[in-house]
Structure 1
């Protein structure tokens, strides 16, 4: 990989074609599948001054002979970061389609909106595959990643289809989108500053005509800051309408994982309070699985929420003053906890059909409810097993809301005593007199925040 844009010039620049080959070679054994021609195929656009590789921005430089190149060291750094990503193909996140989702079309030169791009390429056009095939019948990649090799498509009722990607890939693409926005914002700021401080004649004299000026990707803006309850007690309906809220949110680290950049304001749909800024991956992880009206499928998704990382998630949910005062969870989450945790011992098992020792849980666990949290006396959870290997469909338990809430409070005190100590009926001051109803159907992207 020694081909240079300018032979002998310091800086280690290589041509885009050489960078394609280097990227492919360095990431050949990566858990995340990468795309060929990551530098020369859309959406990569060298004339924009940068190319996205995973969660890193790689600068591009125009040489005097009209060709473009990139620093070899940056390509290697991006490949090393991508190779360090661990991918669990069983831990999936739904990425669409959503009802009433964004309809804006992607324009050349605008930042990556990877969910919109996937939705357009998979769902656009009457001719199958027409929108997904571009540039010489080769599909587009996303930040150098071949997302199609990870995409899982599921169908429900033989008509409705949904698209899923591994959670690690979603985190990576969210990081790429966030990094690009910060890079472009910094580039615009520097360009505006240069326009103010430099005279036109000075710029013409000092700037070589054959080299494009770019902004370094290593420090474009201030680092992300941790969240310290700055939005505590704020109502989402008020805060979400304030100008500049989205930019403010993007400056925080995710309040749950504390590693990824925040992208959305997670809030309680029952009480309307903001919980915290979170990344999209944590937001989808926190959302109840397969919520259709008043019915939830309970998968292994909840093991992390109620077992391995229970304290972190319980503290996050109780950032809502309403949930904290009542030492309870929002109705869909309480239903999921009841099925996954309180009724664990009731779930039947079967001998593993693959011949290994031990038994496996029966079928698919599901919980539904009647009534709402506003009328606890009439609210009832029904926990059932569907798709049993022996053909059975059985109801495991029917638990009143109040009983489920009492069980949860006892479990909370044992599992997360620090969180339980902050909850209780003596903290009802300041709560709204009328609570928002539970959102009946969160199939729309705009309602995917619990």
Structure 2
């Protein structure tokens, strides 16, 4: 492959065909599956002046005769970045279908719109008229090889991708938006400075030194509690809020661009802007109104990244003042952490320990968000192989809240020290009512 690339090289530039082969070869062992035609097959935009590879924009150069080339060094750099991505195929994020998904993306400035593209492809893939026009990749990623489809109740079909890929595609979409804004700005300045010229415009669009994603037009701003104490019901109705949110980095992972405002449904306060990946990771897995499936992702929330997530949840003044969590999160914590010792295990010859947890853990509650103190949690096991296990525990809300305070003080003393009414200057004088989820696709969190 190196000989083929060298033969097409001119001042560090290689043809699109050679770039396809180079990209496929360099990423052959990547955890994220890639496409072999990343530069020459839809939706690559080489003629528009760039190609997306993972989270990086590779600028194209148009030579005589309209043939496009790309810098070999940029292709290698993009491959190195993608090869460093670790992917857990079991850590999935739902990407659709959602209600009003097309309306939500109507105002987006990026042509990638990867959620919309995947939805259209999956909804029409059985149409014989589209057999030759199927999407092969997105940002050089062969998403069809890692897509997971699930069906609930024998009717509703849902689509899932590994979290690492969702985050990578979100970054790619954000990078492309910044690239296009910068290109339009340069073209506008060139038009004012001199009469428009096709050659001048081509040089402006194809200049790699000014279009690298390492130099975004407007760098992401770190979130510094600018929305502290604001009500989601007020901010969500203000014009320009979405554009302002997109300018922040995610307040949890601090790398991906923010996309939504996470808020507390119990008290109505904004917590922080989050990317789609972190937003979905925190979201309780509701089976139906008052039931939660306690899945594997709670291990990150309550074990490996405990301090990070608890500090995020306590951005809500109401939760911080009462040293607790919103009702669904407290229910999940009770089942996953406080009642862990009650969950039966079964023999598992494939496990090094010889035992595995019984069935699927579930927690439900009676009552409502308006009066959480009167609720009672019921921790149960579903789908037990032997069928003898059902309800594991009944825990009153007040007992669960007291267990959580004790656990918080022992596990994350720094977060516990900032909680409580005697340590809060911004304690709300009145508990806010539950705020309805007005965000698109039901992506907002409790």
Q: Does 1:153 find its partner at 2:149? A: yes
Counterpart pick for 1:199 among 179, 194, 201: 194
Please name the residue that 2:168 is paired with.
Answer: 172
Q: Distance between the aligned counterparts of 1:148 and 1:73, measured in 2?
A: 28
Q: Residues 419 and 211 (structure 1 numbering): CA distance in 2 closer, same or farther, change over 3 Å?
A: closer
Tell whether 2:434 aligns with 1:437: yes
Moved more, 51-60 or 204-213: 204-213
Question: Corresponding residue for 1:391?
Answer: 387
Tell whether 2:399 aligns with 1:403: yes
**Quick check: 1:292–1:442 contact (8 Å CA) kept in 2?**
no
| Contiguous gaps of at least 5 residues in structure 1 | none
Distance in 1 (alpha carbons) for counterparts of 2:296 and 2:48: 43
Match of 1:119 in 2: 119
Question: CA offsets, 1:207-240, max 9 Å, x none?
Answer: 3879964442231324323221111111122223
Deviation (angstroms), 1:294: 1.1
Name the SS of the counterpart of 1:176 in structure 2. Answer: helix
Q: Assess, with a 3 A threshold, how the Cα gap between structure 1 residues 85 and 377 changes in structure 2: closer, same or farther.
A: closer
Judging changes above 3 Å, is the alpha-carbon distance between structure 1 residues 6 and 348 closer, same or farther for their aligned structure 2 residues? Answer: closer
How far off its partner does 1:245 sit? 2.5
Q: Does structure 2 conserve the Cα–Cα contact (< 8 Å) formed by 1:5 and 1:68?
A: no
- Tell whether the 8 Å contact from 1:15 to 1:69 is kept in structure 2 after alignment: yes
Q: What SS does the aligned partner of 1:367 have? A: strand
TM-score (norm 1): 0.90
- Structure 1 residue 416 corresponds to structure 2 residue 416: no
Distance (Å, rounded) in 2 between the aligned partners of 1:365 and 1:39: 46
Q: Which residue of structure 1 aligns with residue 221 of structure 2?
A: 225
Q: Which residue matches 2:30? A: 30
How far the C-alpha of 1:394 sits from its partner, in A, is 0.3
Deviations 1:306-333 (A, max 9, x none): 1111111000000011111111111110
Judged with a 3 Å threshold, the aligned counterparts in structure 2 of structure 1 residues 74 and 415 are, in CA distance, closer, same or farther, namely same
1 CA distance for matches of 2:38 and 2:54?
10
Q: Are positions 1:382 and 2:378 aligned together?
A: yes
Equivalent residue for 2:15? 15
For 1:145, what is the secondary structure of its paired residue?
coil
Aligned counterpart, 1:350:
346
Does structure 2 conserve the Cα–Cα contact (< 8 Å) formed by 1:121 and 1:131?
A: no
Which deviates the most, 250-259 or 180-189?
A: 250-259
Inter-CA distance 307–408: structure 2 relative to 1 (3 Å threshold): same
Q: What residue number does 2:277 align with?
A: 281
What per-residue deviation string (whole Å, max 9, x for no partner) do you get for residues 175-219 of structure 1? 1111111111111222222222x121xx54983879964442231
Unpaired stretches in structure 2, ≥5 consecutive residues: none
Higher relative helix content? 2
Deviation of the 1:400 alpha carbon = 1.4
Residue 294 of structure 2 contacts residue 362 of structure 2 at CA under 8 Å; is this kept in 1? yes
Contact 1:6 1:13 in 2 (8 A): no
User: Which residues in structure 2 correspond to 1:49-448 (within 5 Å)?
Assistant: 49-103=49-103, 111-124=111-124, 128=126, 133-135=131-133, 138-196=134-192, 198-200=193-195, 203-204=196-197, 207=200, 213-214=206-207, 215-217=210-212, 218-354=214-350, 356-426=352-422, 427=424, 431=428, 433=430, 435-437=432-434, 445-448=441-444
SS of corresponding position for 1:102: helix
Single out whichever of 366-375 and 215-224 deviates more from structure 2: 215-224
CA distance in 2, matches of 1:98, 1:165: 15
The question of whether the paired residues in 1 share the 8 Å contact of 2:110 and 2:176 is answered with no
Alignment partners' CA distance in 1, 2:175 and 2:9:
32
| TM superposition score normalised by structure 2 | 0.90
User: Aligned with 1:207: secondary structure?
Assistant: helix
- TM-superposition CA deviations, 1:430-450 (whole Å, max 9, x none): 5263533376x9997244333
State the alpha-carbon separation in 2 of the partners of residues 4 and 167 from structure 1: 33
